[in-house]
Structure 1
């Protein structure tokens, strides 16, 4: 095992990676989707909460259903992508803690604390979504994260059978068409938004 990733690896994941607006007509397979998840699930969450719940819209029908919940500017980004994943979270993630975090009675930390569970689920599922993007990029795929959609409508459409789940954001995944992206927006130097004390 090497101590650091190579420069080309870092380019792939960070420096040259871009948020894609359009997609090549190339499939993302079920095997690739499983491989993304198998990497992403290894990222840390608080007390191994694993509150993220993911719906991978791969079929034409599922992407059409999702696009109806999205802003006009995001509909094509969903429809033309090989797959678009809904990143959601489970407000009752604590019910799974006895097997996910068996070292102590972590479930009891969250019982009766709906607002605390919401805060933890929101934070840790967002981390899981970020891990998912890094995993996809590591496997040679591009990502197009989106927040321009109706969360309530998406929750109702895709999580109707799981009333404690909530949709949070979307991410299209595939092989990006670089002719559809803008010049990279500025990234601040360290001193602008950091303190080292």
Structure 2
């Protein structure tokens, strides 16, 4: 079903949402650096508080890097993470506030006014990097690729293995590529508009 209430054409609606699924298997077609750069250059404009960009992305391309990552994935995610054409580790940079004077020039003192406390920074980083992670998944779909985001992993292990500075917190690991024929599980139901939306 499409709707005339949306400006986005029906094909784009389907590509980004209605026909898009989380992918579990992929073809062996590689995902290029140019594709990932194009995805990021699109999604970096998604809104965040104070234009903060706490999301950090580690692209796992090498066999050695893949082995380091797979050992921290849950058993149900090991095989598909090992086989995906590209895997991205999405993390929140808890020291993102150091960039705020440049990213939010209208209020350069925001860095010190709002984010001087570590706990506040961590909360802001987690929320806004999660928003960016969602934009990243939509960007992957916009590139004609499929995403397989996962949270089944040893977060502490990945944080130490790939960051090691105590300033980054992994949010999700995303397998990326062209979906294979058996990539998708059947569509699960969603709540309806009337179940979600109230008007006051």
After TM superposition, the score normalised by the length of structure 2 is: 0.93
1:145 has 2:149 as partner: yes
Q: Which of 99, 102, 107 is equivalent to 1:99?
A: 102
Preserved CA contact (<8 Å) 1:71 1:148: yes
Aligned in 2, Cα 1:166/1:4: closer, same or farther, shift over 3 Å? same
Runs of 4+ in 1 over 2 A off after TM superposition: 109-112
Q: State how many pairs are aligned.
A: 194
Structure 1 residue 28: deviation in Å?
Answer: 0.3
Map Cα deviations across residues 172-197 of structure 1 (whole Å, 9 max, x no partner). 11011241322111111111222122
Q: Which residue of 2 aligns with 1:124?
A: 128
SS class of match (1:102): coil
Map Cα deviations across residues 49-101 of structure 1 (whole Å, 9 max, x no partner). 10111111122221221111100110122111111111101111111101111
CA distance in 1, matches of 2:39, 2:96: 21
Residues 11-26 of structure 1 correspond to what in structure 2 (within 5 A)? 11-26=14-29
CA RMSD of aligned residues (A): 1.3
Q: Which residue of 2 aligns with 1:33?
A: 36
Q: Which residue of 1 aligns with 2:92?
A: 89
After TM superposition, the score normalised by the length of structure 1 is: 0.94
Q: Which residue of 1 aligns with 2:3?
A: none
Structure 1 unaligned residues grouped into runs of 5+: none
